[in-house]
Amino acid sequence: MALLGASGSIGTQALDVCRQHADRLSVVALSVHASTDMLVRAAREFGVAHVAVTDGAHRDDPILSELPTGCSCSFGHEALTDLVRLDDVDCVLNAVVGFAGIEAGFAALRADKVVTYANKESIVVGGDLLMPLARPGRLIPVDSEHSAIYQCLVGEQRRAPHAIWLTCSGGPFRGMTREQLARVTAADALRHPTWRMGPKITIDSATLMNKGLEVLEASQLFDVGIDDVTVLVHPQSHIHSMVEFADGSVKAQLGPSDMRLPIQYAFSYPERWEPPAPRVDWRTVSDLVFEAPDEETFGCLALAREAGRRGGTLPCAMSAANEVANRAFRENRCGFLDIEACVAHVMERSEVVPVESLGQLVDIDMRSRELAGRFLSRCVR
Ligand code: NDP
Ligand code: MG
């Protein structure tokens, strides 16, 4: 295994799975951006042979002298692509956050590795280029909803579903008005009701941009139209998503709200191993509530859907603007509703052309970030 983004929420839970299944999984490579302490601890525990630190500013961290003897350590962004190409790596976990994970995802698929994929942003932005590289069974989703859909499709003859019901907890601000949303803080948003996650996705869950990204992710992964993916608010998060077939029959996947389950499934596919998390006693579950999302109050979902419908390079511009605004909100440089305003501003000014190359996406990502930065600098806090 090569685990990219090993110090994050997904990365550390993947290490838990590797710990539990040490007889089946061998960790040979790890990457972090800046968390060198954690990197050294994990490298020593798992006897890792190769590590990468993508933020070059950490090149001289003294702790790195404590890496296991013989462990190679490389720096900068290119280091990720080198890790995924290693001969002794069969399976890559892409758990980097944001657009920064895109090149490694490409490199891993091109090197014909099994790629277990958490980094949804790169599927949303680069799916038009990535999906044609993915042979059947080589790109396995880790995102819980997409893992659910993948599991529902096993054994079906026609892999493309008729329609998808994508479940959504509703986030911490479900039921609020826009007046209330104008006053929420990053600390309020970081209190997610059902999942413990990294900071970027936690804010995306509060704006519903996470669900918007997931609609586009599902459309790319499962080859369905944007309007064949319906978001369904299900606050209990017991059902992780549902697939509807041509005859109207619906399959759902249920389980504990614990990311170790979809992570492990991606690693074990097509097998199933012992549970990584406590099982649910379904006799104690009385309510399974469903409702439609409030897209007028949570405008990011509608913006993402629009980006998906128009396609081409628009999802790239949208996701870049969202990354910049998401960070600004966490750093108290803009308000909650400015995230949506910033994404709309950048989308309105983006020329939409077909996706042609990674270089083109890197360029659009950069220009959209600049545009978003200028917009946010005018927001008054
Ligand atoms: P975290 O912020 O917790 O972790 C991100 C990881 O990526 C860390 O290891 C971090 O290193 C590394 N990283 C940060 N910036 C860069 C960069 N510029 N280049 C390379 N590596 C970088 O995020 P999550 O684990 O929450 O999320 C990871 C991905 O998984 C996201 O795409 C998210 O949408 C997706 N996902 C997450 C879920 C969750 O439950 N957390 C659920 C479903 C999907 P360092 O610690 O050194 O900064
Ligand atoms: Mg998800």
Q: What is the pLDDT of residues 36-67, one digit of tens each?
A: 999 999 999 999 999 999 999 999 999 999 99
Q: Residue 88 — φ and ψ, nearest 5°?
A: -85, 10
175-202 pLDDT, tens digit each: 999 999 999 999 998 876 666 799 999 9
C-alpha–C-alpha distance, residues 92 and 118, integer Å:
11
263-273 pLDDT, tens digit each: 999 999 999 99
32 in a structural domain: yes
**pTM greater than 0.95:** yes
* pLDDT at site 195: 64
59 in a structural domain: yes
202 in a structural domain: no
Residue nearest to atom 32 of ligand 1 (CA): 119
Residue nearest to atom 36 of ligand 1 (CA): 118
Question: Using a 6 Å cutoff on CB, does residue 190 contact ligand 1?
Answer: no
Closest ligand, as measured to the CA of 142: 1
C-alpha–C-alpha distance, residues 48 and 71, integer Å:
7
Interface predicted TM-score of the whole assembly (ipTM), two decimals: 0.99
Q: Which residues have C-beta within 8 Å of that of residue 162, sequence separation ≥ 6?
A: 228, 244, 245, 246
Residue nearest to atom 9 of ligand 1 (CA): 5
Identify whether the C-beta of residue 121 lies closer than 8 Å to the C-beta of residue 98: yes
41 in a structural domain: yes
* pLDDT at site 379: 85
Mean pLDDT check: name the lowest of 113-122, 158-167, 345-354: 158-167
Is 271 annotated among the ligand-binding residues? no
96 in a structural domain: yes
Question: Using a 6 Å cutoff on CB, does residue 125 contact ligand 1?
Answer: no
Q: What is the DSSP string of 29-72?
A: EEEESS-HHHHHHHHHHHT-SEEEES-GGGTT-GGGGGSPTT-E
88 in a structural domain: yes
Ligand 2 centroid distance, CA of 144 (Å): 5
pLDDT bin (cut points 50, 70, 90) of residue 325 is very high
* pLDDT at site 196: 74
Residue nearest to atom 12 of ligand 1 (CA): 5
| Residue showing tokens 């596919």 | 269
Pocket test for ligand 1, best of 4, 10, 54 (most atoms within 8 A of CB): 10
82-101 pLDDT, tens digit each: 999 999 999 999 999 999 99
* pLDDT at site 194: 65
* pLDDT at site 191: 77
Ligand 1 closest atom vs CA 199: 2
239-286 pLDDT, tens digit each: 999 999 999 999 999 999 999 999 999 999 999 999 999 999 999 998
In this structure, the strands spanning 50-53 and 250-254 are: unpaired
Domain limits for position 35: 2-141
99 in a structural domain: yes
C-alpha–C-alpha distance, residues 104 and 95, integer Å:
10
26 in a structural domain: yes
C-alpha–C-alpha distance, residues 88 and 101, integer Å:
21
Is 119 annotated among the ligand-binding residues? yes
Question: Using a 6 Å cutoff on CB, does residue 186 contact ligand 1?
Answer: no
Q: From 43, 32, 28, select the one nearest 6 (Cα to Cα).
A: 32
* pLDDT at site 158: 66
* Domain harbouring 96, CATH code: 3.40.50.720
Ligand 1 closest atom vs CA 12: 25
Question: What are the E-state strand segments in the chain?
Answer: 2-4, 29-32, 50-53, 72-75, 91-94, 114-117, 139-141, 163-168, 229-233, 239-244, 250-254
Ligand 1 centroid distance, CA of 95 (Å): 5
Residue nearest to atom 16 of ligand 1 (CA): 33
Residue type, 34: A
What's the chain's Rg over C-alpha atoms?
Answer: 20
* pLDDT at site 193: 64
What total number of domains does the chain contain?
Answer: 1
